[in-house]
Structure 1
Amino acid sequence: MNATSADIAAALTFVWFGMVIAISFLEAPLKFRAPGLTVPVGLGIGRIVFRALNRVETVLATALVVVVATGDPGAAVITLIGVAAAVLVVQLAVVRPRLTKRSDAVLAGADPALHRSAAHLSYIALEIVKVLVLLALGGTVAAS
C-alpha cells in the first residue's frame, strides 16, 4: 500500500478498534454494576449507545474500504477488511434484530430472566472476532 493510504487506514482501523473495546468491553458490562440502575434503563441506554456505535462502525468500515481500494492493498489487507466488514454485517443484519426483539419484550415489562437470548453470546463472540481482526488489520496496514 502507498504510505498515505496505509497511514489513514491504520488510523481508521485503530479508532474503530478503540471504540469497540471501549463500548462493548468496558461501558456495556460496567453499566449494569451502577447502583440503582434497572435492567430496563440499562437496556434502553445500551440500545442507544450500540445503535450509535454501529452507525459509526459502518462509516469507518466504508471509509476503510475506500481508502484501501485507492492504496493498492495486498491480499492480507483485503481479507482482513472483508472479514471485519462481514462480521459487522452479520451483527447488524442477523444478531441485532434478535437482541432488539428481546429488549423490546423487557422494555414492555417482561421478566428479563424469561427472555434470555443466545443472540447476546453470539454478539459478544462476534465482537471478539472483530477486535482481533481489527488489531491484525491495523498492524498489517501500519507495517506496510
Structure 2
Amino acid sequence: MKSKVEQPLALICTFTWIGFICSISFMEAWLKFRAPGVTLPIGLGIGRLVFAALNKVEWVFAVAILISNIRTVRKIKISPFYVIVVLILILQTVWLLPALDSRALLYIEAKPVPPSSMHLYFAIAEGIKFVLLLVFGIRLFKLERA
C-alpha cells in the first residue's frame, strides 16, 4: 500500500495549524509569565496581541482548507471534524476572545475583574480543536493498493 493525499494544501494547512495551536496555546500562553520581568499586565498585553494574530491565521487556514476541498473534490464533502473546528473557531472569534480581551484590558488598567471561567472554556476549546484537527489531518491520507 502507498499513501495518497488528495488534498495536499489541506494537509499542510491542517498540520501547520496544529503546530500553531501547540506552540502558542499550549506553550507561549503560560511560558511568557515565567520570564523575568514579565508582569501580569505586560504578559496580558502580549497575550492579547498574540491571540488576535493567531485567530487571524487560523481563519486563513480554515479558508485555505475549504478552498482545497472545493477544488479537489467534485462534490463538496466537508468533514464533520472540520465543521466542528470551524464552529469552535467562530465561537472563539465572536465570544471567547472578545470576552478574554475585555478582561485583560481591565487587568492592564488595574481595574477589578470579576471571577470567570473564560480561560477554562478557551483552553477546553483549544484542546478539542487540536484533537479534531489531528483526526481530520490523519483522515486526509488515503491508503490505496499498490
Residue correspondence of structure 1 range 83-122 to structure 2 within 5 A: 83-110=84-111, 114-122=113-121
Q: Percent identity?
A: 35
- Conserved? CA contact 1:5–1:70, under 8 Å: no
Ranges of 4+ aligned residues in structure 1 off by more than 6 Å:
none
Q: Distance in 1 between matches of 2:5 and 2:127?
A: 29
Q: What is the one-letter code of the residue matched to 2:52?
A: R
What residue ranges of structure 2 are gaps of 5+ in the alignment?
none
Query: What SS does the corresponding residue of 1:143 show, helix, strand or coil?
Result: strand
TM-score scaled by length of structure 1: 0.88
Rounded Cα–Cα distance in structure 2 between residues aligned with 1:26 and 1:107? 22
Task: Spell out the pairing of 1:1-144 with structure 2 (5 A cutoff).
Answer: 5-72=6-73, 78-110=79-111, 114-143=113-142
More helix by share: 1
Higher strand share: 2
Q: Which has the larger radius of gyration?
A: 2
Quote the offset at 1:117 in angstroms.
2.2
Distance (Å, rounded) in 2 between the aligned partners of 1:8 and 1:36: 41
Residue 36 of structure 2 aligns to a residue whose secondary structure is coil
CA distance in 2, matches of 1:15, 1:61: 11
- 1:30-64 per-position Cα deviation (integer Å, ceiling 9, x unaligned): 11111221000000000001111100000110111
Task: In structure 1, list runs of 5 or more residues that go unmatched.
Answer: none
Superposed CA offset, 1:102-126 (max 9, x none): 1111111125xx4432111100000
**Preserved contact between residue 15 and residue 137 of structure 2 (Cα < 8 Å):** yes
Scaled by the length of structure 2, the TM-score of the pair is 0.87
CA–CA distance in 2 between the matches of 1:136 and 1:143? 13
